[in-house]
Amino acid sequence: MPFAPNVFRHTPALRGRITPPDESELRFGQDRFDELDVQAKEEGWPAGWRMDHDAREENRQQVLAGRMLSDLWVFAYGSLIWDPAVQVDEYRYGSLNGWHRSFCMRLNGGRGSHEKPGLMAALDEGGYCDGVVFRIPAALVDAETRFMWRREMFSGSYCPIFQSVETPQGEVDALTFVMDRDSHLYLPDLAEEVAARMIANAEGALGPNFHYLDTLVRHLDELGITDDNMHRLYAIATACRTESG
């Protein structure tokens, strides 16, 4: 089912470019974990590769305590922008101060491997980040955030916190998934050249890591969201692929 036209009244450039939740591969249930547990065992992944179901639900309840009966704003900086996998009533452009988009999370699976890890984008401290915020209506918050926690807290490497986000229509208090600096997957202070080479060379079951960066940059451009750092990283990673090709 497509989004209602008024969802994009503040962001007309997004209309027709956002994946409806019923078409999203990222809107999955508990059975998806069962499939991946089998794969993890076959491939010899280490224990603790994903977050325990009970711990994930406990985290959701704690973070959303007192907020389950109100509309929920969510800040999106990556794939949540164009593929939220949840029911949304409103989109706005938003700017988050104090955090920036960064490839600082190690990928040992998906688009990387333990032998040749890749990188995933996250929000790290410092600077600012342009993205969007979307609003989940109060009546759907409990049900829809279950899907969101399965996706965003899959490995337990984010910290879900609430942050003030500036939008052209006014400030909102938005749920924001930032990098957990205590996570074993956090790679702080990576030199841009090192990060670009990791992205250029890594590949996993879901394909090359570079395709993830390419998708991110392409979607940000299409949606009118500027990030010069991502363009610079993309240019270096592209050059690295040319050298090795």
- pLDDT value for 62: 97
- Mark whether 152 is an active-site residue: yes
- pLDDT value for 205: 80
Catalytic pick from 35, 43, 115, 152?
152
> Token pair for residue 92?
């706005």
Expressed as residue numbers, the domain containing 83 is 5-244
Burial class (CB in 10 A: 0-12, 13-18, 19+), 23: exposed
Percentage of the chain lying above the pLDDT 90 cut: 72
The 10s digit of each residue's pLDDT in 112-126 is 888 899 999 999 999
**Does the pLDDT at position 40 exceed 70?**
no
**Does the pLDDT at position 83 exceed 80?**
yes
Tell how many helices (H) and how many strands (E) occur in the chain.
7, 7
- pLDDT value for 51: 75
How many independent structural domains does the chain possess? 1
Contacts of 23 (CB under 8 A, 6+ apart): none
**Does the pLDDT at position 127 exceed 80?**
yes
Q: What is the CATH number of the domain that holds 71?
A: 3.10.490.10
Which H or E element spans position 164?
strand 158-166
The 10s digit of each residue's pLDDT in 93-111 is 999 999 999 999 999 877 8
**Does the pLDDT at position 154 exceed 90?**
no
Q: What number is the average pLDDT over the span 34-61?
A: 76
The pTM (predicted TM-score) of the whole model is: 0.91
CA distances (Å), origin 113, targets 25, 150, 181, 210, 232:
22, 21, 21, 14, 24
> Token pair for residue 27?
């809107």
